[in-house]
Structure 1
Amino acid sequence: MNSALFPKLLVSDADAAIDFYTEALGADVALRVAGDDGMVHHAELTVGGATLALAQSVEEWGWHDPVSLGGSPVLLTLDAADPDAAARRMVDLGAELVIPVENRPYGKRQGRVKDPFGHLWVVSGALR
């Protein structure tokens, strides 16, 4: 079976999220689909070889973003060549540092960041 799996993040402001992820992660916009009202119902961004989709949260459709739910039950992992720089760039663009990037006893250099839309990211890389 030939399949692909990628997350679709629901956010409170899809256009702001597209801007954040393109600047913070170096993502490229592969697809942006908006309704007549301009609301983004589906966008696909590529980060390295991965696809990350996102859409505007719409309460009537049951599409809730982490802020509206009081937090996110999901951790996204970003494997970066320089996790310190990646986390710093995210924070500089409006994310919150939750756990500092440090060498961990399990052989990774990792930290955690909450992006401006409530999604939690483990920023990971090789030990220094």
Structure 2
Amino acid sequence: MEAKDAATHFAPELHIPKGTFNVDFYIKFGAIEHFRFCNDDGSIHVVELEIAGAIFHLHETMTWFNALEPISAKGVTSVIGLFVPDVDKVMEKAMQAGATEIKPAQDYDYGYRQGMFRDPFGHYWQIQKKI
């Protein structure tokens, strides 16, 4: 029998500014926190979160490999595509948690329903499902 975590899957690492103490947006959005490592001043070094089985990490910006987070980069550093059963419900939950809507949910000719928002740290999320 294979271990639960033996399956291949993505776990994006989203960078946040050094000195970040609060990532409550993600908990309000529905993420479960697995673990958190803090710096001596109490700011977040790394936190592992999960949304319905999709694991991702928030990590303070690391300069040793020129990592950027969206605010200091003054732009989009990546788009996180999250497939869900109900796009509209997840988009609404994101707005209630403090996200900014970029594109409302709608159906596209290529067979997807998608909506996009920006989280408080500037990361873009594309919420989607095949229709």
- Tell me the TM-score normalised to structure 1 length: 0.83
> What value does the CA root-mean-square deviation take over the aligned residues?
2.2
Match of 1:70 among 74, 79, 82: 74
Cα distance, 1:86 vs structure 2: 0.9
Cα distance, 1:73 vs structure 2: 3.0
Q: Which residue matches 2:51?
A: 47
Distance in 1, Cα, partners of 2:16 & 2:115? 22
Question: What letter corresponds to residue 33 of structure 2 in structure 1?
Answer: V
Alignment of 1:93-112 (within 5 A): 93-112=97-116
Cα distance, 1:48 vs structure 2: 1.7
Cα distance, 1:50 vs structure 2: 1.9
Is 2:61 aligned against 1:57?
Answer: yes
Distance in 2, Cα, partners of 1:89 & 1:5? 23
Question: What letter corresponds to residue 25 of structure 2 in structure 1?
Answer: F
Cα distance, 1:14 vs structure 2: 4.2
Distance in 2, Cα, partners of 1:4 & 1:126? 19
Is 2:11 aligned against 1:6?
Answer: yes
Distance 1:86 1:5, change over 3 A: closer
Question: What letter corresponds to residue 113 of structure 1 in structure 2?
Answer: F
Unpaired stretches in structure 2, ≥5 consecutive residues: 1-5
Aligned residues, how many? 124
Question: What letter corresponds to residue 16 of structure 1 in structure 2?
Answer: N
- Tell me the TM-score normalised to structure 2 length: 0.81
Distance in 2, Cα, partners of 1:48 & 1:87? 15
Q: Which residue matches 1:22?
A: 27
Distance 1:109 1:5, change over 3 A: closer
Unpaired stretches in structure 1, ≥5 consecutive residues: none
